[in-house]
Amino acid sequence: MRIADLLTMEFDAEAAKTRNYFAVLPEDKVQWKPHELSPRLGSLAKHIANLPAFGMVFLTTDSMDASAGPPALPEYAGRTDLLETLEQNCARLKEALANASDDYLKAMWSFKAGDKVLEEAPRAAMYQLMCVDHMVHHRAQMGVYLRLLNIPLPGLYGPSADGPWQPAWPRSK
């Protein structure tokens, strides 16, 4: 099995879990935030939907210059836009993974600030950290928001206190 196939399997499972969280997002609470320094719930959800596009940076370039700082958080424009954004970004990411050879995924990728290398690691490791793990991190943050709003949470890696687990991996026969 190719490295890209393993990365795609994991990404598909995490994207399915993200869709389950988006399904319970309360439209009337998208402007809510738990603290003045926190993003609004809708902006956080839109950021999560855009993370597969960020993953494309690692799969289609050799480096990124972070000297401009992070981009502004996108604004939430409704559940339909959120889901369309996620689906479009997932499709592009999966196409890039399908075209990535093992050698390409093992090649070094660099985070830079101008001429200074901040971090360098194999492309697959940087993709995993900055796309998939980043998505999981912010989805967990969204879970805290939802819990504080008393929204029942779907199970992710097993049942939640609110409901059953929805397996994301294909079942073997």
Question: Distance of alpha carbon 108 from its chain centroid, rounded?
Answer: 22
The reported pTM is 0.91
The predicted-structure confidence for 6-57, as pLDDT tens digits, reads as follows: 999 999 999 999 999 999 999 999 999 999 999 999 999 999 999 999 999 9
Burial of 158 per CB tally in 10 Å (0-12, 13-18, 19+): exposed
Q: Let me know if residue 156 belongs to a domain.
A: no
Q: Let me know if residue 90 belongs to a domain.
A: yes
d(CA 48, CA 136): 9
Tally the domains of the chain. 1
The predicted-structure confidence for 88-142, as pLDDT tens digits, reads as follows: 999 999 999 999 999 999 999 999 999 999 999 999 999 999 999 999 999 999 9
Range of the domain at 17: 3-148
- 124 touches 130 (CB < 8 A): no
Q: Let me know if residue 52 belongs to a domain.
A: yes
Burial of 152 per CB tally in 10 Å (0-12, 13-18, 19+): exposed
99: domain CATH number?
A: 1.20.120.450
Residue 149, token pair as written in the block: 């709003």
Q: Let me know if residue 103 belongs to a domain.
A: yes
- Per the listing, tokens 């993003």 go with 39
Tell me the residue ranges of DSSP E strands in the chain: 63-65, 108-113, 116-122
Q: Let me know if residue 153 belongs to a domain.
A: no
